[in-house]
Structure 1
Amino acid sequence: MPWPATARYDLEAAPGSLGLVQDLLNTISAGAPREPDLLQDIEAAQTWVNEATARWSEGVGQAVPDIILDAESLTELRSFRDDLQALVALGPDAAQDAEEPVPVLHTATAALQLGQDGLVRLEPRGTGWRRLAALVVAAAFEGQRADTRRRLKTCRNPRCKVAFFDRSRNNSGVWHDVKTCGNTANLRAYRARRRATGQA
């Protein structure tokens, strides 16, 4: 089962539960032609939540969490997505470069449960968007521990911002799709240089 938001942009998903973080980021309206914002209204958002949590459940082997959104939850979920997008756009080294303690943007609650099979599982707490946020924050934390989180990026094209998992050897990718966003940006820069040279 594909991640519903990421599949719209024909991208390979991030590994493991980090795919949930990427999928939330990719609920934005982007692409050419533009895909709709999957968090634009309750119906679309609930459909995405149901599909994304089913995909998460399939990947981690846990039950699908029951997450029901209302109008207030949807506003909070959009705000959470926007904050997460801004952090991913800063890059993984932003926290290391900070000279002062980094303020907390969001707190999510979860319980660690030890099963009879000997495995420790994370059980998200809360209701509505907070339960989903717990899953997303836990997935981002797992990505940090596995050193894969630093490869989750947003496209450098300011008109795009699609989240992609950089599979380049040296983690140097900046475009979600070089053919569309990369070529467009390079052509724009080339034309700007020609204009500057012509004016000089």
Structure 2
Amino acid sequence: MSTDMMALIGHATLQTLYMVLISGIISGVLGLALGLALYVTRPGQILAYRPAFLVTSAVVNIGRSIPFIILMVAIVPFTRLVVGTSIGTNAAMVPLTIAAIPFVARLIEGALNEISPGLIEAAQAMGATPKQIVTKVLIPEARGGIITSITITIVTLISYSAMAGAVGGGGLGDVGIRYGYNRFEPLIMLVTVAILVIMVQGVQMLGDSMVKRANHK
């Protein structure tokens, strides 16, 4: 493999990390908020409001049901509006983020469902406000599950970023398709796949370590 190709793969790796990091942070924050909204507004919860829960749940379900490759094409006008272009790394982050938000929300909701109702009832009995219950009970008690949810999301974003690269989003997917597949260079394909695997393993190991630490605390 030539030096130029190694440099290109290195640059593509940084692009992939950039896409995953930024979209992961934004979708993590918004997905956490949406997941909390799903949990606290469902019937029987601290801010129960059925219409809000049904609307939020429907939006999340619709977002999760759209295949990523179709989503990328469908929101091209919105992507252009946000970043000024529909191709490149910055453009790819828009559909990546939008696709990940409902995914995170459902995972967060699942993590919150694992919390014992008795803890919430005890907090209410002591006069805790809904805000205090969210910040002092729900988030701390679901900390391990939240970290697991974010880890799963980042791993998913890595695979999504490869698909984004295949349609002009840059990153390792772009290099693998353009220089590996289209030019019949299996070594380039192998290297890009290996880097993606290493990324996934690294993220998973880091996430597992953080979950153990959070659960220990």
TM bin (shorter chain): under 0.3
Structure with more helix by fraction:
2
Structure number with larger C-alpha Rg: 2
User: Normalising by structure 1, what TM-score?
Assistant: 0.24
Which structure has more relative contact order (CA 8 Å, sep 6+)? It is 2
Instruction: From the two aligned structures, give the one with the greater strand fraction.
Output: 1
TM-score, scaled to structure 2: 0.23
